[in-house]
Amino acid sequence: MLNPSGATPSGATVTSTLDLAEGLRDRRRYLRELDCARGLAILLVFLFHAWGLSSLQLPSSATPGLSLIAGGNTGVTLFFVLSGFLLSLPWLRHAADATQPKPLLAAYFKARALRIVPLYYIALLLTWLLTGNTATVARAALFQFVGFQAFPYSVVWWTLVTEVQFYLLLPVGMVLWTRGRWPRLLCIALLLAWAACYANLVLFGELASDKSFLLTKSVFARAPAFLAGIIAAAIWLRLLQAPAWSRQRQLARWGVLLLLLTALVLLERLLLAVTQMGTGAAESSWHIHHSYEAALWAVIILCLLLGNLPAKGLLVNRGLAIVGKLSYSLYLVHVPVLFYLIYPMRESMGAAAYHASGWLYLMPAAALALSLALSLASYQWLEKPFLRRKRALPV
């Protein structure tokens, strides 16, 4: 059970073989809602790639919810929002209450490295052994952008580069924001300068060239997602500390439920517009839709955290939390698994016959089962030792 702040009760332990709080330096602050959001994010990304590799097209009269699959790359935006939320929390807590531990930069960077580098480098090593593509793997190892040069293994690598860029910028922004009036004004000035450049590129710029395409994948153009997460974290902490909110939590649950449902409907409509436009066209001519997605995901996360909602178990449950815990491994492995299961079958049968057969559903289901099995093995044998080292770092 979660207490009102979303944390596990003091002294509680997870008795199953997979400890959902593994790697946390303060287990009392584990938030199952965020693990479930991660699980939802990776499932959306998985379905998006399954849809694309199956060569499916969105029908003109799409059933409600189908756009969540065809536009499932919105899961990447959700991952970015979650990063902004979680990684800003220590600074925001310290800014709100000086008795809370002040984040240590050395511990912060060690924790980030222990979390992402080992498994990523193992994935790069396996890719190099399987493809012999030394140049691409070397670039990826230096956290440079790589697209389809090592397909299907490298499809998702670009997001890790964007994450690392955010990891480097976040401490700078947080230190400026929490150091007093003048540093905060400098932070605001830098944000305004970025916003002007972002608006010029996204609203008035041309995003068709290779150079600008890479820019749209970088933290420069994806910053709204991280900022949405940071703002959501600040709102969450403020509401938790507000006595009026604590007293009215039960009365507000139906309002929070209405807000959650509204955000979900708007997100579905937004993704429908994106998929009808075409992912490529939306990326170049309507890139700001990622910012709209981010704002809606931030609202959804806040609703899950703040509301004791009816039927909340549909989105917050142990199964989805486990998928969220395995999401990093699953993210790195799922595209190759999908490709090697779907592509040979689709090519041998022909696209039309494949779409009309049961294999259209069986192959993604088998890919999901295999990906989960590989991810569980990866988590237990590769990730967990580094998570435990991360847990030993100062809070």
**Pair of tokens at residue 159:** 């997001």
Using CA atoms, how far apart are residues 316 and 370, in angstroms rounded to an integer?
A: 24
User: What's residue 207's pLDDT?
Assistant: 64
Using CA atoms, how far apart are residues 273 and 282, in angstroms rounded to an integer?
A: 9
Is the distance from CB of 42 to CB of 193 less than 8 angstroms?
no
User: What's residue 248's pLDDT?
Assistant: 65
Unique residue bearing structure tokens 């809070």? 395
User: What's residue 11's pLDDT?
Assistant: 37
Is the distance from CB of 333 to CB of 371 less than 8 angstroms?
yes
> Among 14, 38, 16, which Cα is nearest to 28's?
14
How far, CA to CA in Å, does 116 sit from each of 111, 143, 184? Answer: 9, 12, 30
Q: Is pTM beyond 0.85 here?
A: yes
Using CA atoms, how far apart are residues 201 and 287, in angstroms rounded to an integer?
A: 10
**Pair of tokens at residue 375:** 């991810």
Rg of the chain in Å (alpha carbons): 21
Q: Output phi, psi for 255, to 5 deg.
A: -65, -40
**Pair of tokens at residue 387:** 């998570």
Long-range contacts of 208-215 (CB under 8 A, 24+ apart): 208/284, 213/283, 213/284, 214/145
User: What's residue 245's pLDDT?
Assistant: 62
Q: What is the pLDDT along the chain (395 residues), one digit of tens a residue?
A: 233 333 443 333 333 568 888 888 778 889 999 999 999 999 999 999 999 999 998 887 767 788 899 999 999 999 999 999 999 999 999 988 888 888 999 999 999 999 999 999 999 999 999 999 999 999 999 999 998 999 999 999 999 999 999 999 999 999 999 888 999 999 999 999 999 988 888 877 666 555 667 788 899 999 999 999 999 999 999 988 876 665 566 667 788 889 999 999 999 999 999 998 888 888 888 889 999 999 999 999 999 998 788 888 999 999 999 999 999 999 999 999 999 999 999 999 999 999 999 999 999 999 999 999 999 999 999 999 999 999 888 86
User: What's residue 331's pLDDT?
Assistant: 98
Omega into 103 within 30° of 0, i.e. cis?
Answer: no
User: What's residue 13's pLDDT?
Assistant: 39
Using CA atoms, how far apart are residues 335 and 73, in angstroms rounded to an integer?
A: 13
DSSP string, 322-369: HHHHTHHHHHHHHHHHHHHHHHHHHHHH-HHHHHHSTHHHHHHHHHHH
How far, CA to CA in Å, does 288 sit from each of 80, 221, 320? Answer: 15, 9, 29
Using CA atoms, how far apart are residues 274 and 67, in angstroms rounded to an integer?
A: 9
Q: How many CB atoms lie within 10 A of CB 311?
A: 8
Is the distance from CB of 216 to CB of 283 less than 8 angstroms?
yes
User: What's residue 9's pLDDT?
Assistant: 38
Is the distance from CB of 82 to CB of 34 less than 8 angstroms?
yes
Using CA atoms, how far apart are residues 292 and 152, in angstroms rounded to an integer?
A: 29
Query: Three-class SS of residue 209?
Result: coil
User: What's residue 374's pLDDT?
Assistant: 97
